[in-house]
């Protein structure tokens, strides 16, 4: 990226009711697309000084706007009532480390979990991945809901858009909730493509030159700005799309 993101990069804060409705709609989509199962997964977005997050133990397709929990970004304290998702510290750590991020989505996508559990990498095999996921990292297994996981994810999110948690799931961030959601969808789509490819033969990965060429297309730059809901950093600033295996392979 050309410059370190700052809070000035965050999009205008939507009003909290509209944001709550949007979170509920995206939560239902996460279930509909098989990105979570049962009461797994959680998501959040920020409005001003508040993080709005799914409640602990909730099935994401049963959320109501009023069930979302408000957490203060500065203190981490609940503002109002409810118990936030057990991964609330991970969400908060992402916002504190990436001032340009306004939404965090955490899923348990089955194909991705299966693929990364083997140590396999998920790499750019189609244009959307190259554009929307310039940097994806993998973390070795860390006990869920712990501060250790929150800090490890935040350290990667400083310079990445998605973190794959081995034997656990995926965390994506976005300048908008829509962008974070699309990134979650794309990671799982890529894992499915990889499985399909390996069933038939050896997948061909896009080369760094092809990735740079895709990102240079004017049509892709328009699309990425549209997904982010306004003026985001140019995709020309994006880094090469590659997933590092945990052991560096
Ligand atoms: Zn989880």
Measure 82 CA to ligand 1 centroid, in angstroms: 19
Residue 110 CA to ligand 1 center (angstroms) comes to 12
Q: Residue 134 half-sphere exposure, CB side, CA atoms within 13 Å?
A: 20
Instruction: Find the CATH number of the domain harbouring 165.
Output: 3.40.225.10
Residue with tokens 């869920």: 144
With b meaning 16 or more CB within 10 Å and e meaning fewer, what string describes 52-78? bbbbbebebeebebeebbbbeeeeeee
Alpha carbons 130 and 53: distance in angstroms, whole number? 29
In a domain, 196, yes or no: yes
> Does 161 score more than 60 pLDDT?
yes
Residue 32 Cα to ligand 1 middle (Å): 17
Provide the pLDDT for residue 189: 97
The pLDDT of 205-212, averaged and rounded, is 96
Q: How far is CA 64 from CA 3, 14, 40, 42, 55, in A?
A: 38, 18, 16, 14, 10
- E strands along 5-145, which residues? 42-47, 50-53, 69-72, 103-107, 136-139
CA distance 130 to 40: 28
Distance 191 CA to ligand 1 centre (A): 18
Q: 43 CA distance to ligand 1 centroid (A)?
A: 10
Pick the range with the lowest mean pLDDT from 95-109, 139-153, 194-208, 225-239.
225-239
- Residues 34, 110: contact at Cβ < 8 Å? yes
The total number of structural domains in the chain stands at 1
Q: pLDDT value at position 13?
A: 57
At residue 234, does pLDDT exceed 50? no
In a domain, 154, yes or no: yes
| Residue 121 resides in a domain | yes
CA of 22 to the centre of ligand 1 (A): 21
Is the pLDDT at 244 greater than 70? The verdict is no
- In the reported structure, the alpha carbon of residue 126 is separated from the centroid of ligand 1 by a whole-number distance in angstroms of 27
Does residue 249 lie in a domain region?
no
First-to-final CA distance of the chain = 24
Mean pLDDT, residues 169-179: 97
Instruction: Report pLDDT digits (tens) over 76-129.
Output: 999 999 999 999 999 999 999 999 999 999 999 999 999 999 999 999 999 999
Domain that holds residue 114: 7-237
Give residue 117 CA to ligand 1 midpoint distance, Å: 15
pLDDT value of residue 184: 98
Between CA 159 and CA 161, with CA 223 as vertex, the angle to 5 degrees is 15
Q: How far is the CA of 109 from the centre of ligand 1 (A)?
A: 10
Instruction: Give the pLDDT band of residue 7 (cuts 50, 70, 90).
Output: low
Is 59 contained in some domain?
yes
The partner residues of 42 in beta bridges, in order of sequence, read: 106
Instruction: State in Å: Cα 195 to ligand 1 middle.
Output: 22
Whole-prediction pTM value? 0.86
Residue 8 is predicted with a pLDDT of 54
């Amino acid at each position: 990226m050309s410059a370190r993101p700052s809070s000035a990069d965050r999009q205008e804060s939507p009003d909290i009711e509209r944001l709550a409705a949007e979170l509920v709609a995206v939560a239902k989509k996460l279930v509909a697309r098989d990105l979570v199962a049962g009461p797994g997964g959680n998501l959040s977005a920020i409005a001003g000084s508040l993080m709005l997050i799914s409640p602990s133990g909730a099935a994401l397709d049963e959320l109501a706007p009023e069930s979302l929990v408000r957490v203060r970004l500065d203190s981490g304290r609940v503002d109002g009532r409810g118990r936030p998702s057990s991964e609330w510290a991970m969400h908060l750590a992402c916002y504190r480390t990436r001032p340009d991020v306004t939404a965090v989505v955490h899923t348990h996508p089955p194909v991705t979990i299966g693929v990364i559990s083997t140590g396999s990498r998920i790499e750019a095999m189609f244009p959307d991945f190259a554009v929307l996921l310039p940097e994806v990292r993998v973390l070795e297994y860390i006990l869920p809901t712990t501060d250790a996981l929150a800090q490890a994810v935040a350290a990667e999110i400083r310079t990445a858009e998605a973190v794959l948690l081995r034997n656990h799931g995926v965390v994506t961030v976005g300048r908008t909730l829509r962008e974070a959601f699309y990134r979650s969808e794309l990671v799982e789509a890529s894992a499915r493509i990889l499985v399909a490819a390996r069933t038939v033969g050896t997948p061909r990965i896009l080369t760094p030159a092809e990735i740079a060429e895709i990102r240079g297309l004017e049509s892709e730059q328009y699309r990425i700005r549209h997904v982010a809901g306004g003026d985001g950093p140019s995709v020309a600033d994006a880094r090469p799309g590659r997933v590092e295996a945990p052991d560096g392979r």
